[in-house]
Structure 1
Amino acid sequence: MSDETQGVNPPRWHFQESLEISVVDTAKRHSEGDDDFVLIDIREPEELAICSIGGATHIPMGDLPSRINEIDADEDTTIALICHSGRRSLNAAIFLQRQGLSGARSVAGGIDWWSLRIDPGVPRY
């Protein structure tokens, strides 16, 4: 675990650098408008209605296979995928990596951890 991820991930979370990105790194890169960074919310529309992160692209997990061409990324782009807890987005990151998008990463802890660590104004559900 790198110094950047120490203490920023959910308790008892086994962080996998090749598959995940911390909420702290995600928030930093997203807020800075990093050109080599894309944030994709893969939650369902009813979850998105509860809370969302401004500027994130919404592609529900079930739509990823048919909408992969909408992801504006090259080999240098980090694709941060966020769901509720980080489990679905981990599966989505694995799927996208297998499709050749090696920069796909799951946001560890999902939007729930985002609410706890980054923005308490984001409702928890």
Structure 2
Amino acid sequence: MKIISVTELQEQLAAQAVTLIDVRSADELALAAIAGARHMPMHELPQRLGELDPAAPIAVLCHHGVRSEMAGRFLEKNGFADVASVAGGIDAWSTDVDPGVPRY
């Protein structure tokens, strides 16, 4: 699994080259979000694998990067070929890409 920076994520999103999966809880999502991300809370991921294309590039996001790395490894173990975890998560996005996204 790859680890990508938030600036790499920004470039991939601009090019529509990746599906962004946000694995945070609904409460966290209500505090801060990235437009266009698909919300799939970590505990729902096993039941929702069928909603994702295993051949498509996927980036996984959480608050700081721990849960996204676990979720990314889970996706890889379930046949997803091109998975990346976003280093620093939404917190890094808020500080490095879009200060309009609140930090919590």
TM-score range, shorter chain: over 0.9
RMSD: 1.0
2:9 pairs, out of 16, 26, 31, with 26
SS of match in other structure, 2:31: coil
Following the alignment from structure 1 to structure 2, what is the Cα–Cα distance between the partners of residues 62 and 102? 21
TM-score by length of 1: 0.79
- Number of equivalent positions: 104
Unaligned residue ranges in structure 1 (runs of 5+):
1-17
Which aligned pairs between 1:22-61 and structure 2 lie closer than 5 A? Answer: 22-34=5-17, 37-61=18-42
Partner in structure 1 of residue 95 of structure 2: 116
Following the alignment from structure 1 to structure 2, what is the Cα–Cα distance between the partners of residues 120 and 104? 26
- Whether the 8 Å CA contact 1:86–1:107 is kept in 2: the answer is yes
The one-letter code sitting in structure 1 at the alignment partner of 2:46 is P
- The structure with more helix, counted as a fraction of residues: 2
Match status 1:79 vs 2:58 = yes
SS of match in other structure, 2:50: helix
Which 4+ runs in 1 deviate beyond 4 A? none
Unaligned residue ranges in structure 2 (runs of 5+):
none
SS of match in other structure, 1:49: helix
2:69 pairs, out of 90, 95, 98, with 90
Following the alignment from structure 1 to structure 2, what is the Cα–Cα distance between the partners of residues 98 and 73? 11
Following the alignment from structure 1 to structure 2, what is the Cα–Cα distance between the partners of residues 98 and 65? 11
When Rg is computed on C-alpha atoms for both structures, the one with the higher figure is: 1
